[in-house]
Amino acid sequence: MNGYEFSFSGQRLSALASGALFWPDQRLLCVSDLHLGKSERTARRGGPALPPYENRDTLNRLADDLDHTKAHTVICLGDSFDDLGAAESLTEAERLQVSTLQAGRRWIWIEGNHDPGPVELGGTHLAAWTCDALTFRHIALPQARSEISGHYHPKATLRTSGRSITRPAFLVDRSRVILPAYGTYTGGLRSSDQVLKGVMGPGAMAILTGRHPCCIPMPR
Amino acid sequence: MPQIPAQIRNWFAAKGWSVHPHQQELFDRAGDAATLLIAPTGGGKTMAGFLPTLAELADGSHVGLHTLYVSPLKALAADIKRNLRAPADEIGLAIRIEDRTGDTPATQKKRQRADPPHILLTTPESLALLTSYEDAPRMFAGLQRVVVDEIHALAESKRGDQLMLALARLQNLRPSLRRVGLSATVEDPAAIAGFLARHPDPCEIVLADPGPDPDISMLETEEMPPWSGGGAAYAIPAVLEQVRRHRTTLIFHNTRAQAEIFFHNLWLANDDGLPIGIHHGSLDRQQRERVEAAMVRGELRAIVCTGSLDLGIDWGDVDLVIQIGAPKNVKRLVQRIGRANHRYNAPSKALLVPANRFEVVECVAALEAVRAHDLDGEPRGPGPRDVLCQHILIAAAAGPFDAGALFNEMTSAGPFAALTRAEFDACLEFCATGGYALRAYDRWQRLQRRPDGTWQLRDPRAAQRIRMNIGTIQDTDTLKVRLRRNRGGKPLGEIEEGFAASLTPGDTFLIGGQIVRYEGLREMVVEVTRRADKKPKIATFMGTKFATSTQLSDRILDMLAQPDWPQLPRHTAGWLALQRDVSRLPERGRLLIESFRHDGREHVCVYGFAGRNAQQTLGLLLTKRMEELDLAPLGFVATDYATLIWGLDAVTDPRPLFRIEALRQGLETWLAGNAVMKRTFRASATIAGLIERNTAGQRKTGRQATFSSDILYDTLLRYDPDHLLMQITREEAMRGLVDFGRIEAMIERVGGRIDLVRLDRVSPLAAPLFLEVGKVPVQGAAEERLLAAESERLLREAGLVQAEAG
């Protein structure tokens, strides 16, 4: 499994090619911003009927990551569902797939801004969760330390040999890790955006996802 | 037969004019269901089109809309309004003439719907929007005639397909509607006639006197054209001299970027300070209008422009057209030349300026084609189904519809005459449910069937969303460029989002002929400051790169087969002779491949003469085949006539590379993941309504809310590869950017006659390819390696130690 290992708050973490974060010592896999039910929500609001395959695709990729990492604990870092209605719209097959993934694992849903309420799926629902040295929450807090969050869908651009390659990216500084969005139907916010420049401290790094994740100083 | 009313005849007489034969013929045929007029620029085309209208309105009894005029340009609609107003007033006709485009104020638009003018001048998009309103039947109640201007240009694009579907709708509302098309010279008038008329109505073609042949030649310069490139900077002094000698010169370029660079260089050399302007589609509207106004007032001696000035706005006193770069297409060249000497029966004067040595050959071939009246063009194929999908949605926005009736209406449009019911139903299904193999939207269908069997929008609010996304013009995502000021500085124009993303503060680029410095991005506006002290980084405007047409390519091959070349300048003839000595010249029925070592790498140069797009595709397919055969290709570059590939190993037997089955198979797999396909998909998905360009206020909420259309493409490819939009995308790509048809034709023509010539160095004909821009590195492992290397370098530079990769 391709991953980029780095040390954060005294822990060894691995940024996986898929955009998931793996914590080997805890056998813990963390994914953020799945946005399940995106296509359903778009259609419900009178928009176009997008290809209704994103739930399947997102869950398939998650299943692959779980196969490879054999994680015992899964943390979904918020905005797991596009909205509450979208959560209710999962098909039988998709619910079954979620249940299969949950079987034999501890599963924690962190609340996001898109999916505040509880949903009728297994697992624990929490606003934030601390495990050992690290705290998991949806949106980064300015003063937090040892924090893992999502929400911003960061992406970063690397220019080299006349081309520019943009990929979803992990952002890492001394106090926080921000995960890229894991869901199939998600876009990204450039690391050079004012908001992200404000959140990330000096010396921040960006780890670009892709077949071989690679680490660069965060483009500002 | 009706006569031209006396007051109009008197007006002609008072002006000292006589009615042209083609104007009379169009008048005599005014009762026909459809008529196509083919006339040169300046041939009184507009008057020919409107004469029957003026005659029918002469007695002042008509109530409501009488004639609809549709043109591809907003500016043309405004221009015609002016040019029609004067005669109408002079003849003493109390008629209302108004235009309606994207620029028309909302209040006026509203009034036009309630109380339409006698003559309404508009564009295909604005007309499509009008047909989407529930009150369309009332607005078009009195409509008698429709005049489609510049129909030759519309017939080449989806805008024309859209227009014909809108006309089919109007014809349904007004069965007696009569159509007139006005066209420049084209190679296949019958095809345009079939496009214009309601299927299967007949359509008479009226040919005006084409006027005298143009006075056209290649510009003689002291300096030789360079080996490669498209800037034609060498010709600046000679072009300036021509500008000096003429009243007004139009200087045409094939791309916006080239126009910008040329204009910049022209200014640097313009010691006399001649008033020269620039005009192209990426400039801000105000800027363009200022140039247009100055032009009409006769204040400019020259305008550097692109296809944005191709169409028939009357620029008055143009007495010279200069085409920079090979024209690529004889028909377009002839139409451009027609922009000069806008007076009937005066020969137009034009000069061609080849940008490089090979273009000398191409320009001479084009000159010969113009003299022989040998125009080119490729048949366009059936109407694209993405446009059809948009019109099903437009029909739904106007009110409930019956599927059978809508099918009959749409197949009465020329481009869609061959559409089958099954194809139509698939489009309807797409509009209603998305048309996916997985049925997911039973609750949220876009279109619903009512108990009486008709279809309607589930959510009436969707009508607004549909209207906001009408149109087939693909403006790739662009960002506005403004001068940085306290409160929003002057708008300069637009640049591609991709180009904007590549800028870092301090970078400079050219826009509207000035060098500006990138300062930053604020609320999706690129802010710049004026800068005159630096050499600019060049804006990459999207402007299409046209491929040299098949007919022109054939002419070039015919020319290469000559024993000597008296019609070419010495330097170019000498270059070809040298090629024949050290290697050989490409021939029409054979395929020449050169192989040589250069700069430590093996090269093959394939002279397919299939046009830029096909040669590009050939490069992608061949490198893929070479990778399979372990020939380690590293990259390639394509021009209109050849593809140059470099790699680690020499090609010794090219035959296995050119097996058509293998190439076609490679095409299937390669196409799937290709950027061209993704771009094509994005265009078709937008037109068909799957991607909304405009949604009320959404663009402000931050970029992470939207995701790339590439993701939709990848998802469909993985889970629903036979989806309607994937079929449309494949069709579009094959006849557009991929242009596989020309590769097939080339391989068929060549058969087994492949000549591999091994040389000990670069050949004269291959040399210019080394200077070409747009080199394509072979994808795959290479990109990951690049990333890894660059990442390590950056980390080292930042004084950081690379943590071990897991």
3-state secondary structure B565-633: CCCCCHHHHHHHHHHHHHCCCCCCCCEEEEEEEECCEEEEEEECCCCHHHHHHHHHHHHHHHHHCCCCE
Q: Which residues of A touch B705 (CB under 8 A)?
A: 187
User: Token pair 């080339």 is at which residue?
Assistant: B746
Supply φ then ψ for residue B714, to 5 degrees: -60, -40
Cβ-defined contact of A48 to B690 (cutoff 8 Å): yes
Nearest to A189 among B461, B702, B723 (CB): B702
Query: Rounded to 5 degrees, what are φ and ψ at A165?
Result: -115, 120
Placement of tokens 């125009």 in the chain: B375
Q: Is A188 part of the contact surface with chain B (CB cutoff 8 Å)?
A: yes
Residue B745 has pLDDT above 60, yes or no: yes
The shortest CB-CB distance from A48 to any of B689, B705, B787 is to B689
Question: By residue range, what is the domain housing residue A113?
Answer: 3-217
CA distance B268 to B251: 16
Residue with tokens 């010495």: B570
Q: What is the pLDDT of residues B692-714, one digit of tens each?
A: 877 654 443 344 456 788 899 99
B99 and B150 both lie in a single domain? yes
Count of Cβ atoms closer than 10 Å to residue A22 Cβ: 23
Residue B114 to residue B13: CA distance in whole angstroms: 38
| Residues B156 and B194 reside in one and the same domain | yes
The whole-number mean pLDDT for each consecutive block of 10 residues of chain A, a chain of 220 residues, reads 90 96 97 94 89 96 96 95 84 92 95 72 91 94 95 88 79 97 93 92 94 91
Count of structural domains within chain A: 1
State the amino acid at position B133 in one-letter form: Y
For residue B10, the surrounding DSSP H or E stretch is helix B6-15
Report the C-alpha gap between B671 and B44 in whole angstroms.
48
Residues B98 and B35 in one domain: yes
At residue B538 the predicted structure's pLDDT band, cuts being 50, 70 and 90, is low
Q: Report d(CA A42, CA A34) in Å as an integer.
A: 15
Rounded to whole angstroms, how far apart are CA atoms B263 and B324? 12
- Report how far residue B476's alpha carbon sits from residue B471's, in angstroms, rounded to the nearest whole number: 13
Q: How much is the average pLDDT of B614-637? A: 85
Same domain, B464 and B504: no
Instruction: Please state, in angstroms and as integers, the Cα–Cα distance from residue A127 to each residue in A5, A108, A112, B197, following that order.
Output: 27, 10, 8, 66
Same-domain pairing of B152 and B257: no
| Tokens found for residue B225 | 């054209």
Rounded Cα distance between A30 and B756, Å, is: 57
What three-state secondary structure class fits B331?
helix
CA angle B535, B541, B545 (to 5 degrees): 115
Once rounded to an integer, what is the mean pLDDT over residues B492-505?
74
Inter-residue contact B598 to B540 (CB < 8 Å): no
Q: What is the pLDDT of residue A76?
A: 96
Same domain, B520 and B450: no
Q: Is residue B560 part of a domain?
A: no
Residue B800 lies in a domain: no
Closest CA to B763 of B633, B627, B570, B598: B598
In a domain, B66, yes or no: yes
The answer to whether residue B315 sits within a structural domain is yes
Contacts of B796 in chain A (CB under 8 A): none
The mean pLDDT value of chain B amounts to 87
* Partners of residue B691 in chain A, C-beta under 8 Å: 48
Q: Mutate which of B438, B439, B699, B715 to disrupt the A interface (most A C-beta within 10 Å)?
A: B715
Bridge partners, A172 (sequence order):
A177, A205
pLDDT at B256 over 90: no
Instruction: Determine, yes or no, domain membership for B287.
Output: yes
The residues, any chain, with a CB within 8 Å of residue B495's CB and separated by 6 or more, are: B282, B478, B479, B481, B509, B511, B526, B539, B541
pLDDT digits (tens, 9 = 90+) for B283-299: 887 888 888 888 888 89
Full residue range of the structural domain in which residue B20 is found: 6-207
Say which range, B256-260, B430-434, B681-685, has the weakest mean pLDDT: B256-260
How far apart (Å, rounded) are the C-alpha atoms in residues B516 and B503? Answer: 12
Same domain, B524 and B399: no
Contacts of B288 (CB under 8 A, 6+ apart): B279, B308
Segment B107-119 mean pLDDT: 95
pLDDT, tens digit (0-9, with 9 covering 90-100), for B761-786: 999 999 888 877 667 766 544 455 65
- Which helix (H) or strand (E) segment holds residue B33: the answer is none
What is the rounded distance in angstroms from the CA atom of residue B512 to the CA atom of residue B92? Answer: 43
pLDDT tens for B121-172 read: 999 999 999 999 999 999 999 999 999 999 998 998 899 999 999 999 999 9
Q: Tell me: pLDDT of B76 over 90.
A: no
Cis peptide leading into residue B200 (ω within 30°): yes
Q: Which of B245-249, B424-428, B476-480 has the highest mean pLDDT?
A: B424-428
> What pLDDT score does B578 carry?
93
- Give the nearest partner residue to A212 out of B501, B784, B790, using CB atoms: B784
**In the structure encoding, which two tokens stand for residue A22, read together?**
């793996």
Task: Centre a 10 Å sphere on the Cβ of residue B666 and count the other Cβ atoms it contains.
Answer: 18
Query: Cα B152–B158–B160 angle (5° rounding)?
Result: 40
What residues contact B291, with CB distance under 8 A and at least 6 apart? B277, B278, B279, B300, B303
Q: Closest residue of B to A35, CA-based?
A: B705
What mean pLDDT do residues B668-683 have? 77
- CB pairs < 8 Å spanning A and B: 145
What is the DSSP track for B755-768? EEEE-SS--TTTGG
What 3 state SS string does B665-715 have?
A: HHHHHHHHCCHHHHHHHHHHHHHCCCCCCCCCCHHHHCHHHCCCHHHHHHH
Residue B15 CB partners (closer than 8 Å, separation 6+): none
Residue B74, domain member (yes or no): yes
End-to-end Cα, chain B, rounded Å: 88
Distance from the A4 Cα atom to the nearest Cα atom in chain B, whole angstroms: 5
Q: Is B790 helix (H, G, I), strand (E, B) or coil?
A: helix
What is the torsional sign of CA A81, A84, A89, A90?
Answer: positive
- Residue B159 sits in a domain whose CATH number is 3.40.50.300
**3-class SS shares of chain A: helix, strand, coil, % to 5:** 20, 35, 45
Contact B69, B149 (CB under 8 A): yes
pLDDT at residue B699, as a whole number? 42
pLDDT at B54: 96
The dihedral region occupied by B731, where left means phi > 0, alpha psi between -120 and 50, and beta the remainder, is alpha
Collapsed DSSP state (helix, strand, coil) of residue B481: strand
Q: How many domains is chain B partitioned into structurally?
A: 5
Q: In angstroms, what CA-CA distances link B667 with B280, B504, B661?
A: 35, 37, 10
From B194-198, B319-323, B493-497, the region with the lowest mean pLDDT: B493-497
| A113 touches B: beta carbon within 8 Å | no
Q: Indicate whether B61 belongs to any domain.
A: yes
Residue that finishes a domain, picked among B371, B405, B434: B371
CATH number for A95: 3.60.21
Backbone angles phi, psi at B634, to 5 degrees: -110, -25
Record: contact A212-B440, CB cut-off 8 A: no
pLDDT at A135: 97
Check whether B544 has a pLDDT greater than 60: no
Question: Given B465, B795, B806, which is nearest A14 (Cβ)?
Answer: B806
Chain B residues with CB-CB distance to A215 below 8 A: 791, 795, 802-803
Chain B positions touching A194 (Cβ under 8 A) are none
Other C-beta atoms closer than 10 Å to the C-beta of B468 total 14
In this prediction, residue B784 carries a pLDDT of 58
User: Which of A177, A215, A218, A220 is the best residue to mutate to test the B interface, defined by the most B CB atoms within 10 Å of its own CB?
Assistant: A215
Q: What is the pLDDT of residue B698?
A: 47
CA B182 to chain centre: 19
Task: Return the exposure string of B558-571: e unless at least 16 CB atoms fall within 10 Å of the residue's CB, then b.
Answer: ebbeeeebeebbee
- Choose among B258, B237, B243: nearest CA to B326: B258
| CA distance readout (Å), B257 to A131, B261, B491, B683 | 56, 6, 18, 22
| Cβ <8 Å between B711 and A184 | yes
Both structure tokens of B439: 């049925």
Instruction: Return the percentage of chain B with pLDDT > 90, whole number.
Output: 52
Which of B257-271, B483-497, B594-608 is predicted least confidently? B483-497
Residue labelled with tokens 């002042």 = B60
Question: Does any CB of chain B come closer than 8 Å to the CB of residue A2?
Answer: yes
Decide if B546 is inside a domain: no
Contact between B135 and B358 under an 8 Å Cβ cutoff? The reply is no
Q: CA B239, CA B324: separation in Å to the nearest integer?
A: 10
Nearest to B712 among A50, A193, A213 (CB): A50
B539 has pLDDT over 70: no
Same domain, B688 and B729: yes
Confirm if A123 and A101 have CB atoms less than 8 A apart. no
The DSSP H or E segment spanning B81 is helix B74-91
Question: Mean per-residue pLDDT for B658-679?
Answer: 78
Lowest mean pLDDT across B146-160, B184-198, B733-747: B733-747
- The H-assigned helical ranges of chain A are 38-44, 54-69, 84-88, 92-102, 194-199
In the predicted structure, residue B794 carries a pLDDT above the cut 50: yes
Tell me the chain A residues in contact with residue B800 when contact means C-beta distances shorter than 8 Å. Answer: 205, 217
Instruction: Copy the structure tokens of residue B669.
Output: 């797999």
pLDDT at B266: 92
- Which pLDDT score, from 0 to 100, does residue B7 have? 93
Please check whether residues B760 and B630 belong to one and the same domain: yes
Query: Angle at CA A116, nearest 5°, toward A111 and A119?
Result: 85
Judgement on whether residues B96 and B225 belong to the same structural domain of the protein: no
